[in-house]
Amino acid sequence: MTQTTHTQTTPPGPAGRPRSPEFRLAADALRGLRRDLFQDAFAYDPLPRRSADGALTRRLSGAGWLPHAVVVVLGMVAMSLGMTSAFGSGPVPLLCGLLALAPVLLTLARPVGAFWLSLAASTVAAVIGRGDWSDWPWLPGSFLSHLVVLTVVALRTRPSTAASMWVMTAAYGFVTAGLFGWHRYDSNVTPMLVLSALILLAVSVRHIRRQAQQEVTAQQTVTEHERSRRTLLEERTTIARELHDVVAHHMSVVAIQAEAAPYRVENPPEELEKAFATIRENAVAALTELRRVLGVVRAEDYEAPDAPQPTLADLDGLLANVRGAGLTVDKAVTGAVRELPQGVELSAYRIVQEALSNTLRHAPGASARVEIGYVLGGLGLRIVNTPPPAPHLIKPSPGAGHGITGMRERVSMLNGEMAAAPTEDGGYEVTVFLPVPAATASEGDA
């Protein structure tokens, strides 16, 4: 028996019936209005300084306070307009000016509370500073003050909060104009709603555009991270394929030599024959497991190369091919040339190959130099190219950027060191050191 659970997302009606979509829409709107304009309306939320990333902020030391200065200037303009347009004498014009200034300044610390203060201040200013035939319900100073408050609060909050403020402004304007402004000369509710709607629409578009840019930037960051990770995995897969062939060859040699060793000695002891048999069995088993485990890194269309993996002895052929592609390249070898482990030889060959390919791709027309140094503790490589003759004519190469990653992976696999950086004259230099233990090197010589 199965038991299903049904989750009721909306409360049912009085008779247990589900609410209509219209009711749910209205309920959601009221909840959003309460959340945006009533919950923590006077919470302290200071206006932050301007970011130092902008060009203006970098040039002017005090440009971080520019938004605060703009708000204060607009508040002073509203105060001046409120004082000059108020009727009456004595402290009334000053009070009307202060009522226009206070909500604007409050937006710097408590933005949603400034909206409510603006409605209250507009009402008080309209009562004490209006004549019977003047516009209603906003004094000119209060009109400008309320527009500034709506704009600043919309810039600092969500678009839904801006929409809620516009709805409350419309409700306030129609109620005051209908109940208390019937004997007034004219109403400025319509101009307030039209101007505020245009401003809030522009601010909302700005919010949406900025949010879209942030999402695009975040997505680009994730995409770049995934691309780098995929590139790294591809390079490691390529290296694993090549090393699989190298290790498989060595294990095959071990198995063959273990099988042939007893026949090279007359009357070998039984223990020796068993030891060689065990070595061969282990080598064959290891080779089988190696092919099973590392074989998964081969693509379906991958074919094992017929020729053996290249070594430094094949470097002259590589340089000849590169010269045929138009790159002038020289080679210099220092130290006592000796045979190194096949993995080191292969990695060194691939590093030189990739560095020269990068030169052809990113610095067409330049010349390159390959330096190989055989030292006691390993192998040193230096591949350097001159700057291209016309760098401004070079176009980006699609798919480029994997070379350095592949070289670093090969060097890291051998516990080596690598440095890749532009040269002072505008070229590029890659230096690598691949350590080779002395015992391993001597075995290779033998």
Mode of pairing for the β-strands spanning 186-187 and 135-136: parallel
Query: What are the φ/ψ torsions at residue 191 (nearest 5 degrees)?
Result: -60, -40
Q: What pLDDT, on a 0 to 100 scale, did the predictor assign at position 58? A: 55
Tens digits of per-residue pLDDT, 136-162? 788 889 999 999 999 998 888 888 888
- CA 198 – CA 171 distance, rounded (Å): 18
In Å, how far are 233, 298, 304 from 301, measured between CA atoms? 18, 8, 10
Each residue's pLDDT tens digit, 82-96 = 888 777 677 888 998
Sorted by sequence, the CB contacts under 8 Å of residue 227 that are 6+ apart come out as none
Q: Within the chain, which residues score under 50 in pLDDT?
A: 1-10, 398-400, 446
Q: Are 199 and 150 in contact (CB under 8 A)?
A: yes
Percent of the chain whose predicted confidence (pLDDT) is above 90: 24
pLDDT score of 368: 94
User: pTM (2 decimals)?
Assistant: 0.51
Strands in 328-334's sheet, in edge-to-edge order, are 328-334, 367-375, 378-385, 428-435, 417-422
- Give the up-direction half-sphere exposure of residue 54: CA atoms within 13 A in the CB hemisphere: 12
Instruction: At 253, list the tokens.
Output: 């040699």
Q: What is the DSSP code (8-state) at residue 136?
A: E
Give the whole-angstrom CA distance, residue 14 versus residue 268. 100
- Let me know if 445 is exposed, middle or buried by CB neighbors in 10 A (0-12, 13-18, 19+): exposed
